[in-house]
A and B are shown apart, each in its own frame.
Chain A
């Protein structure tokens, strides 16, 4: 294993789904059920059994719209306001209408959701306005339940192949070029439709621990989806709306106020005082978090030590089993007992992820990108704040639409020269006798991201970043060296990370206003609704560098009254009533 072999195979399928985490499996299942004759291939860089953001499970649905607790109109309004108004509501509204059906389906898969003594869903309030958080008592079984369904539906699964470039032709998608991560052999997949579910760009900033893989996101999610969409010519929306999250310091997993909040836990400053009214993750909330840290009242903590023993035990039971189960080891190692100490929190590295913000490949309410036949869903598509249930639901939309799309088309012809060019690009680091290993290229890129791109955003710093990134790119293209196929995978990831870093700088420079709280806090510019109440769309320009355009926000489906529009700006607790 890990030897570099020479090889190239070509296969055909009707629908290629890239990424077997959350959105991908649901897309594959829906497409196959709608068209049982279709040949659906699900491809993953890791192993579908344990791949993606929910590798070890998830503790709950953060955005369920359940009849009796919330309405699609209310949810659409909430997410529009939380995302500072920049939202094509059709995709959010469709999600809100149909996610309940997906919950019922997941329930049939054997994934249980918390119910009260009357058998009703036990939904909790975490957001500013509505009630959408539904705990999953056996959330550690999600991937296993999904995998059983994939086997039952006879989805063709290909593990340990990393896709590196999309193929296009005749004005639509034609397939993808993939590399085996353990042999470096190539696989060209011709497909009539391609669904991308490659997750966040989670390895963009460097965590403060300095450990390359100690990221908030599963570090396999290194931005290939963004990079491939970019090189294929798709539009990417609002990339300047970074993901930045409040996490457990050093451990870098969520402190999980979503679990602890409804049980009485809250985010506090060093004095143990509450300073934000609402623990739901938004740019405005992160700005308050940042201000508290910088303002001398930090560190910031998750406070649970005022709660009753049985409550703390229950919080521990959930948080130490599901999503990031090494959390218990981490606290034990530092002697942190939730009953006695508060849990120190910090600000995460930056990334792209629509799961919690809005940066992603542009899609409509059918999960269609700007390239016909190419779909995107989950953390890498731009439906704002869509979390795990959004990945499932939008993945379903992609699968259903792709099943129709392939009925009318044959394989698009593509330029064979593209395959040869991609082989040369990918294998270049294997052809050298020595050089710079990919971990150093990656470390330097990500350290520069921290130095120059982290908000508050400063024009001169971001321009410097662009210069440094160019130098790193030269080093990468001319001097990167790998010794085996595993390192080659890391080299390809380093390339995606650098693409994402370039896009982050370019998108942030383009939008000359401040929006989304800390996510796009440009210190030289105020909010400017007159010029910037719009999406920004980034594409690959003629010169091979990012090009930009503005795109109107589509007229709202659900009207928002003027006095409601700034509901998420009022996050700070009024000190006169804060004492408790």
Chain B
């Protein structure tokens, strides 16, 4: 029973230029109640936060607590 790969747009967007995950920051990952954010290495070799799991309550701690304003919470497409 192989699993499909179904695409989905994600509500939380991170601006790589502003994200300071490279400096060890994990604030957005830490505060998310649903634990859906992770840190990944970009093609340029920098680290940045991204939304790994599309399981968002659009509640906003990630955006509110980000020290550099890199995170934007949009509404999931299904309900916006």
**A and B: real partners?**
yes
Q: Which residues of B from 27 to 73 have beta carbons under 8 Å from A?
A: 30-35, 38, 52-53, 55-61, 64-65, 73
Q: Are B59 and A55 closer than 8 Å at their CB atoms? A: yes
Q: Are A50 and B1 closer than 8 Å at their CB atoms? A: no
- Nearest B-chain residue to A333, judged by Cβ: B80
Most buried by B among A55, A207, A212: A55
Q: Shortest Cβ distance from A481 into chain B, in angstroms?
A: 8
B74 CB-CB contact with A under 8 Å: yes
Q: Shortest Cβ distance from B28 into chain A, in angstroms?
A: 10
Q: Are A220 and B33 closer than 8 Å at their CB atoms? A: yes
A214 CB-CB contact with B under 8 Å: yes
Given contacts A50-B33, A220-B34, A326-B73, contact A213 B65 (CB under 8 A): no
A192 CB-CB contact with B under 8 Å: no
Q: Are B79 and A218 closer than 8 Å at their CB atoms? A: no
- Nearest B-chain residue to A483, judged by Cβ: B3
A489 CB-CB contact with B under 8 Å: yes
Cα(A486)–Cα(B75), bound, Å = 22
Cα(A46)–Cα(B62), bound, Å = 13
- Nearest A-chain residue to B62, judged by Cβ: A50
A350 CB-CB contact with B under 8 Å: no
Q: Are A46 and B32 closer than 8 Å at their CB atoms? A: yes
Q: What mask results when residues 1 to 38 of chain A are scored 1 for a CB within 8 Å of chain B, else 0?
A: 11000000000000000000000000000000000000
Cα(A447)–Cα(B3), bound, Å = 21
Q: Are A50 and B34 closer than 8 Å at their CB atoms? A: no
Interface residues on B, range: 20 to 34
Q: Are A160 and B35 closer than 8 Å at their CB atoms? A: yes
A282 CB-CB contact with B under 8 Å: no
Q: What mask results when residues 129 to 169 of chain A are scored 1 for a CB within 8 Å of chain B, else 0?
A: 00000000000000000000000000000001000000000
Q: Are A218 and B53 closer than 8 Å at their CB atoms? A: no
A71 CB-CB contact with B under 8 Å: no
Q: Are B79 and A209 closer than 8 Å at their CB atoms? A: yes
Q: Are A435 and B79 closer than 8 Å at their CB atoms? A: no
Q: Shortest Cβ distance from B16 into chain A, in angstroms?
A: 20
B24 CB-CB contact with A under 8 Å: no
- With a cutoff of 8 Å between Cβ atoms, the chain A residues found around residue B52 in the complex are 486
- With a cutoff of 8 Å between Cβ atoms, the chain B residues found around residue A541 in the complex are none
Q: Are A486 and B53 closer than 8 Å at their CB atoms? A: yes
Q: Are B80 and A55 closer than 8 Å at their CB atoms? A: no
Q: What mask results when residues 27 to 59 of chain A are scored 1 for a CB within 8 Å of chain B, else 0?
A: 000000000000000000011011110011000
Residue in B1, B30, B60 whose beta carbon sits within 8 Å of that of A56 in the complex: B60
Q: Are B79 and A250 closer than 8 Å at their CB atoms? A: yes
- With a cutoff of 8 Å between Cβ atoms, the chain A residues found around residue B38 in the complex are 1-2
Cα(A214)–Cα(B79), bound, Å = 8
Q: Are A55 and B61 closer than 8 Å at their CB atoms? A: yes
- Nearest A-chain residue to B78, judged by Cβ: A211
Q: Are B57 and A213 closer than 8 Å at their CB atoms? A: yes
Q: Are A219 and B55 closer than 8 Å at their CB atoms? A: yes
- Nearest B-chain residue to A221, judged by Cβ: B33
Residue in A50, A437, A486 whose beta carbon sits within 8 Å of that of B3 in the complex: A437
Q: Are A434 and B57 closer than 8 Å at their CB atoms? A: no
Cα(A252)–Cα(B80), bound, Å = 11
Cα(A470)–Cα(B38), bound, Å = 36
- With a cutoff of 8 Å between Cβ atoms, the chain B residues found around residue A182 in the complex are 35
A233 CB-CB contact with B under 8 Å: no
Q: What mask results when residues 199 to 241 of chain A are scored 1 for a CB within 8 Å of chain B, else 0?
A: 0000000010111111100111000000000000000000000
Most buried by A among B1, B3, B59, B80: B59
Q: Are A47 and B31 closer than 8 Å at their CB atoms? A: yes
Residue in A1, A207, A212 whose beta carbon sits within 8 Å of that of B55 in the complex: A212
Q: Are B75 and A46 closer than 8 Å at their CB atoms? A: no
Q: Can you spell out 22 A-B residue pairs with CB atoms less than 8 angstroms apart?
A: A47-B31, A49-B30, A50-B32, A51-B33, A56-B59, A211-B79, A213-B55, A214-B76, A215-B57, A218-B57, A218-B59, A219-B57, A220-B33, A324-B59, A326-B73, A330-B75, A330-B80, A434-B2, A436-B1, A437-B3, A486-B35, A489-B35
Kindly list the 8 A-B residue pairs having the minimum CB-CB distance in the complex, ordered from nearest.
Answer: A209-B79, A50-B61, A211-B78, A50-B31, A46-B33, A326-B58, A250-B79, A434-B1
Chain A positions near chain B (C-beta within 8 angstroms): 1-2, 46-47, 49-52, 55-56, 160, 181-182, 207, 209-215, 218-220, 250-252, 324-326, 329-330, 333-334, 434-437, 486, 489-490
Extra A-B contacts (5), CB below 8 Å, given A55-B61, A182-B35, A326-B58 = A213-B55, A218-B33, A220-B34, A329-B75, A334-B80
